[in-house]
């Protein structure tokens, strides 16, 4: 009796998992997560360098066969199980639990590299308020081919050097902001995204309108969209299109699953997935017009070709675009608008990734972490761990470390291979038909047959082909087109890359060896979903039919016995 009272009091202290305050919070959180820096600085450059409008063909192929099907699958998995990116696999297919761990490890790597870019953006934003933009005139070290004097050392010797205190302070500021954005879980996250997920669109619209009115804008846009059909025969273009879809849709890492797990069971995730995917892709296309209209203006002013000023990744955000806005009237205004947009685009992606990791770990240990102030303390420890692990990236030579870490630890090939494992686990082991029944039970709409076709065949085959091609055509990282890393650095990079994807077969093999029984019994056990999962209407009808049939047989037997 006393033990029961103690247990009851202890359970009262465990906080409820909770749901989104409204459907709008869910939509904005997912939109903020999937619409990030890659939409602005990677997609436009890929279009330009891969045949302009021709690039949209492989991009749309990957969107239809991989992006949307996996997006819907992950949203439905979270909404159905009400679990995070790891524990959802424990309930659906224990054999594939390693997919959850691998996804969370990639997210951890992303959190450690992504926020460095936000620190750079905050630093540039601060200098945008100076009387003269430092990158506007020659004679400054900002005009080197490197990101800036503050982001990379000017010598050709890649020594780590001293800590750059200005960037370090910006990094501390970004971690503090991210901490308080999610420190109360979805209660605080759901409110913050109203601003962080919407205001970047205001900035993007302002920059788009301004860019289209500049001389030379048409020249830049033509370079962006002019089709070159010959590129369709280039396998590299198809690989880059697939990688862009996996990155921009945030699939295979558990983000969408975790965000969907805070939805009520009857939320229409089928419709939500379609509109969110459409929003993501449209944002990428529109961002391309905003970026290349300004680059066209820059080329026009300098009397050079657009390809001479076009950059991708950090080079676009911290070299090409700042130099372009410096040539405009009111350069400070446009610099502030641009870096605010970069900050907000990256900020909600960063703190949503953090929220996903915290939620996934909390779901694994609910009795420990769902207690007053336990979650806040765990989040603080997580932030401190990431911060101290990345100090080497804010040194004088930190850009070398950053590029190595970003190239290998957060590479697209890992995401592509995870999609193969995920599709096989859900499409074949758990069952594509069962997943469609679950979606119909939650939304009232049975998914189009193309989703079953993708989950079972198209997605794993296309992803596997892309992964194999990426291995065949692998090129080691060359920093800034001239510096080759030492052999030990490449080995470290491969260790980071393999650390995530090897978790999937490693975890499956470990579980098969750990449990008792014959190999067939162990396989069947690990491929069976949790018996406590919610029953769909179809399953309840089947159980009812079997029950009625059994009761009828019992009555017949009793009746025959009485007659005898």
Tens digits of residue pLDDT in 458-494: 999 999 999 999 888 888 888 777 788 899 999 999 9
pLDDT tens per residue, range 505-520: 999 999 999 988 899 9
482 Cβ contact partners less than 8 Å away, ≥ 6 residues apart: 156
Nearest to residue 496, comparing CAs of 361, 427, 404, 392? 404
Banded pLDDT at 145 (limits 50, 70, 90): very low
pLDDT tens per residue, range 178-187: 999 998 888 8
Q: Is 30 annotated as a binding residue?
A: no
Q: Is 32 annotated as a binding residue?
A: yes
Is the pLDDT at 308 greater than 60, yes or no?
Answer: yes
What's the confidence (pLDDT) of residue 369?
A: 87
Higher pLDDT, 429 or 552: 429
What are the residue ranges spanned by the domains of the chain?
2-524, 534-563
Is the pLDDT at 539 greater than 80, yes or no?
Answer: no
Beta bridge partners of 395: 163
d(CA 41, CA 503): 31
Banded pLDDT at 163 (limits 50, 70, 90): confident
Is the pLDDT at 154 greater than 80, yes or no?
Answer: no
Q: Is 345 annotated as a binding residue?
A: yes
3-state secondary structure 365-423: CHHHHCCCCHHHHHHHHHHHHHHHHCHHHHECCHHHHHHHHHHHHCCHHHHHHHHHHHH
The angle at the Cα of 152, spanning 148 to 158, to the nearest 5 degrees, equals: 155
Is the pLDDT at 155 greater than 60, yes or no?
Answer: no
Asked if residue 115 lies in contact with residue 178, where contact means CB atoms within 8 angstroms, the answer is yes
Q: Which of 65-74, 113-122, 135-144, 256-265 shows the lowest mean pLDDT across its residues?
A: 135-144
What's the confidence (pLDDT) of residue 9?
A: 52
> Which burial class, exposed, middle or buried, applies to 528 when counting CB atoms under 10 A from its CB (0-12, 13-18, 19+)?
middle
Q: Is 35 annotated as a binding residue?
A: yes
For residues 297-320, average pLDDT: 75
Is the pLDDT at 150 greater than 50, yes or no?
Answer: no
What's the confidence (pLDDT) of residue 563?
A: 57
For residues 257-278, average pLDDT: 95
Higher pLDDT, 136 or 97: 97
For residues 63-85, average pLDDT: 96
d(CA 397, CA 163): 9
Is the pLDDT at 218 greater than 80, yes or no?
Answer: yes
Q: Is 234 annotated as a binding residue?
A: no
Banded pLDDT at 498 (limits 50, 70, 90): very high
Asked if residue 240 lies in contact with residue 246, where contact means CB atoms within 8 angstroms, the answer is no
Mean pLDDT computed over every residue of the chain: 86
Q: Is 248 annotated as a binding residue?
A: yes
**3-state SS class at 163:** strand
pLDDT tens per residue, range 333-358: 888 888 898 899 899 899 999 999 99
> Which burial class, exposed, middle or buried, applies to 482 when counting CB atoms under 10 A from its CB (0-12, 13-18, 19+)?
exposed
Structurally, at CATH architecture level, domain 2-524 sits in Up-down Bundle (1.20)
Expressed in angstroms, the distance from the first to the final Cα of the chain is 52
d(CA 302, CA 230): 30
For residues 435-444, average pLDDT: 94
Is the pLDDT at 214 greater than 80, yes or no?
Answer: yes
pLDDT tens per residue, range 345-401: 899 899 999 999 999 999 999 999 888 889 999 999 999 999 999 999 998 888 888
Q: Percent of the chain having pLDDT more than 70?
A: 89
Backbone phi, psi, residue 20, to 5°: -60, 145
What's the confidence (pLDDT) of residue 526?
A: 93
Backbone phi, psi, residue 163, to 5°: -70, 135
Is the pLDDT at 549 greater than 70, yes or no?
Answer: no
Q: Percent of the chain having pLDDT more than 90?
A: 46
Q: Which helix (H) or strand (E) segment is 483 a member of?
A: strand 483-484
Banded pLDDT at 153 (limits 50, 70, 90): very low
For residues 495-509, average pLDDT: 94
Higher pLDDT, 308 or 267: 267
Q: Is 4 annotated as a binding residue?
A: no
């Amino acid at each position: 009796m006393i033990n029961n009272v103690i247990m009851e009091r202890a359970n009262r202290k465990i906080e409820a998992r909770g749901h989104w305050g409204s459907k709008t919070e869910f939509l904005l959180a997912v939109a903020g997560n999937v619409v990030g820096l890659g939409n602005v600085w990677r997609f436009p450059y890929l279009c330009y360098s891969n045949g302009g409008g021709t690039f949209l063909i492989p991009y749309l192929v990957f969107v239809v066969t991989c992006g949307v099907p996996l997006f819907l699958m992950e949203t439905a998995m979270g909404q159905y199980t009400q679990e995070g990116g790891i524990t959802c696999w424990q309930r659906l297919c224990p054999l594939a639990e390693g997919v959850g761990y691998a996804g969370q490890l990639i997210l951890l790597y992303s959190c450690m590299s992504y926020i460095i870019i936000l620190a750079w953006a905050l630093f540039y934003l601060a200098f945008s308020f100076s009387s003269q933009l430092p990158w506007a005139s020659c004679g400054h070290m900002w005009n080197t081919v490197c990101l800036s004097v503050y982001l990379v050392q000017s010598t050709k010797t890649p020594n780590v050097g001293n800590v750059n205190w200005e960037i370090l302070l910006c990094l501390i500021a970004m971690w503090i902001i991210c901490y308080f954005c999610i420190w109360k879980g979805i209660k605080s996250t759901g409110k913050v995204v109203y601003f962080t997920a919407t205001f970047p669109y205001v900035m993007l619209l302002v920059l788009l309108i301004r860019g289209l009115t500049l001389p030379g804008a048409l020249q830049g846009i033509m370079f962006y969209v002019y089709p070159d059909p010959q590129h369709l025969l280039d396998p590299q273009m198809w690989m880059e299109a697939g990688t862009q879809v996996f990155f921009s849709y945030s699939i295979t890492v558990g983000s969408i699953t975790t965000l969907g797990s805070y939805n009520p069971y009857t939320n229409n995730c089928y419709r939500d997935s379609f509109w969110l995917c459409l929003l993501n892709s449209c944002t990428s296309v529109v961002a391309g017009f905003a970026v290349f209209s300004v680059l066209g203006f820059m080329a026009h002013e300098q009397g050079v070709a657009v390809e001479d000023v076009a950059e991708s990744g950090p080079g676009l955000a911290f070299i090409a675009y700042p130099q372009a806005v410096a040539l405009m009237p009111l350069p400070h205004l446009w610099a502030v608008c641009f870096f605010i947009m970069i900050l907000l685009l990256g900020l909600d992606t960063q703190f949503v990734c953090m929220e996903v990791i915290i939620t996934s770990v909390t779901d694994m240990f609910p009795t420990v972490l769902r207690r007053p102030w336990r979650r806040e303390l765990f989040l603080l420890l997580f932030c401190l761990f990431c911060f101290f692990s990345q100090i080497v990236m804010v040194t004088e030579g930190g850009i070398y470390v950053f590029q190595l870490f970003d190239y290998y630890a957060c590479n697209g090939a890992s995401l592509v291979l995870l999609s193969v494992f995920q599709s096989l686990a859900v499409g074949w082991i758990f069952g594509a038909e069962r997943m469609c029944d679950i979606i119909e039970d939650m939304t009232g709409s049975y998914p189009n047959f193309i989703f079953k076709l993708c989950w079972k065949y198209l997605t794993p085959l296309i992803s596997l082909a892309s992964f194999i091609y990426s291995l065949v055509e692998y090129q080691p990282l060359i920093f800034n087109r001239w510096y080759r890393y030492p052999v030990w650095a490449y080995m470290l990079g491969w260790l980071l890359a393999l650390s995530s994807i090897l978790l999937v077969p490693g975890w499956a093999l470990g579980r098969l060896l750990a449990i008792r029984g014959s190999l067939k019994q162990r396989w069947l056990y690990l491929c069976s979903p949790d018996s406590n999962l919610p029953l769909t209407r179809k399953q309840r009808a089947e159980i009812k039919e079997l029950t009625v049939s059994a009761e009828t047989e019992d009555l017949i037997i009793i009746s025959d016995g009485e007659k005898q």
